[in-house]
Amino acid sequence: MTEADAPPIVFVHGTRFSAGQWSSQVTALQEDFPVVAVDLPGHGTRSAQPWSLIAATEIIASAVDSLDRGPALVVGHSLGGYASLEFARRCPKQLRGLVLAGASASTRGPWATPYRWVAGLVPRLPADRLARWNDRLLRRHYPPEVVGATIRSGYAFHTLPTAWGEVLGRFDAGSMRHVAAPVLILNGEKDTVFRSGERDFARAHPNARIELIPRARHLANFDDPAAFTDAVRRFARHLPPGS
């Protein structure tokens, strides 16, 4: 793969986080690929912007355009993965490849019930208490160079009910029929909830495959940053040339 062939890469963060979630991946990949991580509506630098899936897809599309290298590889985690599926449906000509990380569970049916409960509970808890709990959790499990940018950017708990309220009931394996580009379903080996539909998602697409990060859970890019980055790099290098 020549420098001219290297696909641009856009990273899309998960629930309550920000572009800082991808600091390890952006640092590792930026010498070989044009790369950017975005803040979704209501998150990070866009904390005051109301959430909507349409706005999320517009942000991803603007990030692709900003790299000025044609269709991009979009890497979405959890909420960002479902937003990336919506982007794939709305903006197929801007997509060269898709990595769904922790986003291969149906958001329809009984699976969604506990997430609806959590989305309803979060607004009743003080945001500063939730932030302290998240800070302690991340610092306990991960080194500062992996989670420091996420902690500094803060958390979007105020956006969670609206964001998940729109995502729940909307996506399942059938959503893959709207994805025209190759797909890598990249999950933590121990992320049992979001792996629940990975085989259905893969079967629903003619050019999708599953790869697991050994021993990792839902935050696989935190659990093993090097392995996650390497999986994205290998997938990017084998994408067909962009138009």
pLDDT in tens, 153-169: 999 999 999 999 999 99
As a whole number, the mean pLDDT across the chain is 94
Q: What is the pLDDT of residue 124?
A: 79
Confidence label for 243 from pLDDT (cuts 50, 70 and 90)? low
- Percentage of the chain exceeding pLDDT 90: 88
- Cα 104 to Cα 71, 186, 213: the distances in Å are 23, 9, 14
CA distance linking residue 207 with residue 89, whole number of Å: 16
Report whether pLDDT(117) > 70. Answer: no
Tokens standing for 34? 């044009």
Report whether pLDDT(231) > 80. Answer: yes
- Nearest of 118, 210, 228, 104 to residue 164 by alpha carbon: 118
Between CA 226 and CA 232, with CA 227 as vertex, the angle to 5 degrees is 95
pTM: 0.96
Report whether pLDDT(4) > 70. Answer: no
What average pLDDT does range 92-111 have in this prediction?
Answer: 93
- Of all helices (H) and strands (E), which one includes residue 145? helix 144-153
Report whether pLDDT(2) > 70. Answer: no
Query: Under a CB-based contact definition with an 8 Å cutoff, are residues 116 and 197 in contact?
Result: no
Q: What is the pLDDT of residue 170?
A: 95
More confident residue, 26 or 118: 26
CA distance linking residue 107 with residue 85, whole number of Å: 12
Q: What is the pLDDT of residue 123?
A: 75
**β-bridge pairing 72-77 and 208-213:** unpaired
- Nearest of 5, 191, 226, 1 to residue 100 by alpha carbon: 191
